[in-house]
Structure 1
Amino acid sequence: MAGSTYGTLFKITTWGESHGAAIGVVIDGCPAGLSLCETDIQSFLDRRKPGQSRYTTKRNEGDKVEILSGIFEGKTTGTPISLIVRNEDQISRDYGNIKDCYRPGHADYTFSEKYGFRDYRGGGRSSGRETIGRVAAGAVASRILQQLGIEVRAYTKAIGNIVIPENEYDFSCISQNSLQMPNQAYALRAAEYLEECMKNQDSSGGIIECSITGLPVGIGEPVFEKLDANLAKAIMSIGAVKGVEIGDGFHAASANGSSNNDPFRTASGGHDIQKATNHSGGTLGGMSDGSTLILRAAVKPTPSISRVQQTVNTSGDEIELSIHGRHDPVIVPRAVVVVESMAALTLIDMLLINMSAKLENIIEFYK
């Protein structure tokens, strides 16, 4: 299978299946000398692990990470870093009734057609559990970004039609509710909505927003390796994501140039150039412009629902299907850290590439 590797200089390869022995990632290209231990990575994995609220799967996984290579005396050595998380609570029998049919909204049909075979236990390689490797690697990337004063922060902006207006954000609330929303009142409303979904044997989608501050100007390339294009690819590679927008996104299509353009001004004191507004979302011409980068990901409803659905089996017979097992009624809260991690991985890779943009940078490094 191709397509399990992401990145150019800071490169990751994820591996493993939902009901296999373990899930993991190999990171190649991490600079030597970064202080790193399992606790640094575990704090990220704890944000996505199951069983933390009634709105997540009840699969009982500790998701404890082990570092197998690339660290010596608490620092990275510059060699590949191998991370593993062992699966401990697989109940494969939950999937016995779907091994000969195609679940609506899943990769069952396309995977079977492509490979002529599929691991039906929890989706195998197509499972959301694959994101463990991304999050573990994202924790490492985020530690490097912290050294550079760059902060990546993702949170739930909307669940269903419960949308938090930007002027009502309170970021201190994000860790205080199980839905990762920056407003307690909206989190309560969203919880009530999810209770209705669950009562109706249904699920919900939502929107994850990610704010990136501290980026220097000029990260990204003007043609095929645009910062916003690479971020969009990274976020769209997350299985449940069906759309990505930067800044005003689709609202820009109904705007005028006079309202959508961001006027430039000089900061008080003189020489630093700033934008008066940020409709572009922190990028211009595919490169960072020094303002806050804002991206949003549209996350589809969990496709595994117990409500009866129409489908077909592998023989082509039309059948009815009700999916049982342990599934999240909403993917969004656990996907917040996945979005954050994929953004961090993209940024650190592009920052490393950017070091060769100017001859003076190379001379300064090697002189």
Structure 2
Amino acid sequence: MTASRAARGFVAAKLFLVFILATIFSMPAHADAGFQRWIRDFRSVATSQGISGAVYDQAFRGITEPDPSVLEKARYQPEFRAEAWEYFDNRVQEAAIAEGRQKARELKPWLDRIERQFGVSRYILLAIWSIESNYGAALKRDNVMKSLPQALATLAYADKRRSKFARTQLIAALKILQNGDVRPDQLTSSWAGAMGHTQFIPTSYQAYGVDMDGDGRRDIWNSEPDALATAANLLRKNGWRSGETWGYEVLLPRGRKFPAGSMSLKRWGEIGVVRANGKAYPDSSRNAELKVPDGREGPSFLMTKNFFVIKRYNNSDKYALAVGLLADAIQGVGGLVNDWNRPFQRLSFSETQELQQRLGALGYYEGEIDGKIGGGSREAIRQFQARMGLTQDGHPSKEVLQRLRGR
């Protein structure tokens, strides 16, 4: 064979291979047989608990594969893995505060009614709404919201730790659909099955859902009054104390150990634990528990009853504290005296957005310009730091932004 014939044969072989690969990758993915079997088998479980076959089939129409992004998110929960400064910087920031104040003005008549009926601070409700769904903006993002039946079926099928939870929540979700509170195409949720503006799991929705706007449906997906009233109802039924705070930032005397558990604010004051702003405790007879989420060198807090009621929403100290701090900021009171143990100088919200924009312009970052530092932002910062010969810590620092501006 001549060299030219061999070359033509090689090119033809490559073209054939490209054609085969293109054909393979253009074909629809095969349905996951095990997942499809799970959906078929669970149908009898659902119908035995009062779900009609028609509702079940409608909920799972077109769902053939588990959602891999659900399992990825299940492996990372920021409440338990993020550094304190990172968690709070992403949630208690200028944009969230400004929009919370705007929503307080827009929804004042509804918030007045909800506050009167349930006795829960409007600022706490606004803070929960911000943290749960960015005031509803997350409900419009396909990369955040999932098909609820698919998400819960994925967890039930592929996540042994959450299988029982997911099965229970899926039955509850199907009952919500069957009751007519939401259309099938609107039955969306987070990766763990949390629904609507204020992110209720289905069983909690069943227990606390409220039709605040009076249209006959407890619509936490589309009705802001329903969503906020449902959150207020959960807090009230779990013991919210109307007119009281969630806690106080305090100063700790150096060189002293403190008892675990709860005791009166009067007793805390007697052993030297005083409010950081210098004011007295309004009701020193109330009990409180000491929390130091960032160690004794960071901000310290005495948490009262309402803090632990917020934890019934999400059983995380960081979450409940973020709600309290953001609520105070929206109201225009509070503000930390001591800062978090942040190993760099914090950027403002607009500066953080600028940092993301500049990293994106250089090809390091492809995520949203949202002013929130997550895994994608940290990795982009590390890549830029490596290029510049800096310590690759991934911190959104003033130094990194200045270097980016210099580019």
Structure with bigger strand share is 1
Q: TM bucket by the smaller chain?
A: under 0.3
Structure with bigger helix share is 2
TM-score normalised by the chain length of structure 2: 0.22
TM-score normalised by the chain length of structure 1: 0.24
Larger Rg: 2
Question: More relative contact order in 1 or in 2 (CA 8 Å, sep 6+)?
Answer: 1
